[in-house]
Structures are given as structure tokens and as C-alpha cells.
Amino acid sequence: MLGRELTDRLLFAGPASEDFGKTLAKRLGLPLLSVTVKEFSDTETRFKVEEEVHGTSILLVQSTYPPVDRNYMQLFLAAHHLSQEGAKVHAVIPYLGYARQDKQFMPGEVVSLGVISHLLRTCGVLRVTTVDIHSAVGLALFAMPTYSVSAIPILAQYIKKNMNLSSPVVISPDFGSSKRTEAFATIYGAEHLQFAKERDRVTGEVRIDAGEMNVKGRDVVIVDDMISTGATIRAAAEKLRKAQASKIVVSCVHPLLVEDAYEKLIEAGVDEIIGTNTVPSRVSKVDATEPLASYLRTVAE
């Protein structure tokens, strides 16, 4: 066992966020906690913490993208052990799984995010930080201080710098994304349009009402917090193609892109997708550790 000072602040890069955690540790100038992780073929995980953690503050970094439940379970196991050993645990969850189930949309539904909050607390987590939580409503379900950092400014800056778009229009595919999209459009210095979305709560089918719009010959950027099945963006892209938009770029914070979502979006006429590395994927080009590190420097433990 390595010995450490009682006042040390350390970072544990969980198995779902190894690269992300290492980059974040470098930005913050923090040492990585030494842990041996073994994932068994039946999907169970064993952690062995290789150093004394009593009296330390630990940033436990673990994103909870699919497989969501396994990644959460690893987070709970690590948090419980570290807090039992006398460390102060601050969970940094770049993509917060279950954040979309932050209320009962239909009678009988479990408010899953409330359960996650309860489990984190039970495992000794004292503080939670995430990136672009699906809705601010979810923050109220957490009993400990919880903060959502936004990666929208760096996404807007990245697209402005790297893509030569002609008189772009920034599109919000639904009401829930309008605040983010407005912020994106302000930073980019572009016009902003909002679509209305309806999702059938039973079949999951998405319908978009684009209303009146004049995007003919103009480039567009659709902004959303996440792409899961791609149904939302596909429906929006189809409307934009019909309206003869020129280039269609999609900017999202969390590119889950489950199954063949990427291919389906390209088929629907999307030219490019730009996401952040809260979820590792082929489109994770923007580094969300930058805004996270800026925030975490302001938090004492």
C-alpha cells in the first residue's frame, strides 16, 4: 500500500471513463488513485484499491452510458468502498444515465433518476457533478450538492472554428432543447429556430412539427443534449431536407448512438455529427474535460 497525506485530493478514473478521467486528472494536476479492476466474464466487476484513502478527497469519474446498469453498478461499488474507508467521495458522472426519467410521464412509472440519487447517497457520495443533464428538473432529485456543467459553449466554438458554414441556422428539435440551442446560437452568432416534437410514449415514435421556415440553400446545425436511437434527429433532418437546407450538421453533448443510429442519420441526409467525449464514440471530437475542469477547480472537495 502507498502512503498518502491526509489532505490529498485524488482522482479515480472508473472503467467506463479511463481516458476521460486521465485527461481530467492531467488538467487538474491530480494524481490517479491506484486501483486494480477485474471484469469477469459474467459481467461482474471486482475492484481492489491499492492505497490508503482514509482522509482523502476523491473525484470518482465514471460515465453511465450503455451498458448503463453495469456502469452504474461499478460506480456504486467503488463509491461505497471508498466512503467506507474514510474518503470523501465526489462522483463526476460525465453522462448521467436515467436522467430522462426524472418524473412520472405515465402512471405507474418508476422515477428512475430519484432511485439513482438515493443509491449514490447510500453509497456515501457527498457531491455529484455531471455534464449537460437532460433537464434541470433532475437536479432537484438529488439530496447532495449536484451541478451540471455545460459543454454547449465548446461545441459551438468547435463548429465555428472547424466548419465553414454558410449563413447557418441553429435548430432546436424540441422544446426541451431550446435553452441549449439558444445559448449555442448566441455563441455562434447565428439565427435560432425551434421545432415542436411529439413522442408516442408507448411506441417511441417521434413526430416533428417544423412550422414555417426558410432554410433553402442555408446550412443548419441541429443542437441536442443527446442522440440515443437517432429518431429525434432523423425526423428533424427529414424536414430540413424537404425544406432544401444545404448542409446538415448535428451537434450533441452525449453521442450514445445506439445500434445503427449513426448510419440511419447519414441515410436521412445528415452530413456530419459532432459530439463530446462524455460518451466514447466515432463522433466524440470535443473534449468535455475542459469545462468540467474549470468548474471542479472552484470546488474545494
Nearest distance from C-beta of residue 262 to ligand R5P, angstroms: 11
Nearest distance from C-beta of residue 229 to ligand R5P, angstroms: 3
Cα dist. 119→17, 149, 155, 195 in Å?
Answer: 20, 22, 32, 36
Per-residue mark of binding to ligand R5P, 77-106 (x: CB under 6 A): -----------------------x------
Q: What sign does the CA torsion over 140, 142, 143, 146 have? A: negative
Which CB sits closer to ligand R5P, 25 or 253?
Answer: 253
Q: Which stretch binds ligand R5P (CB under 6 A): 61-69, 114-122, 123-131, 221-229?
A: 221-229
Q: What proportions of the chain, in percent to the nearest 5, are helix, strand and coil? A: 35, 25, 40
Q: Which of 160, 197, 239, 264 is catalytic?
A: 197
Which CB sits closer to ligand R5P, 215 or 235?
Answer: 235
| Dihedral over alpha carbons 266, 270, 274, 275 (to 10 degrees) | -70
26 is catalytic: no
Per-residue mark of binding to ligand R5P, 32-51 (x: CB under 6 A): --------------------
- Residue 158 contacts residue 176 (beta carbons within 8 Å): no
Beta bridge mates, 88? 57
Near ligand R5P in 155-194, by CB under 6 A: 173-174, 176-177
- What's the number of CA atoms in the CB half-sphere (13 Å) around residue 96? 31
- 107 three-class SS: coil
The only residue of 30, 231, 288, 296 in contact with ligand R5P, by rule CB under 6 A: 231
Catalytic residue numbers, as ranges: 197
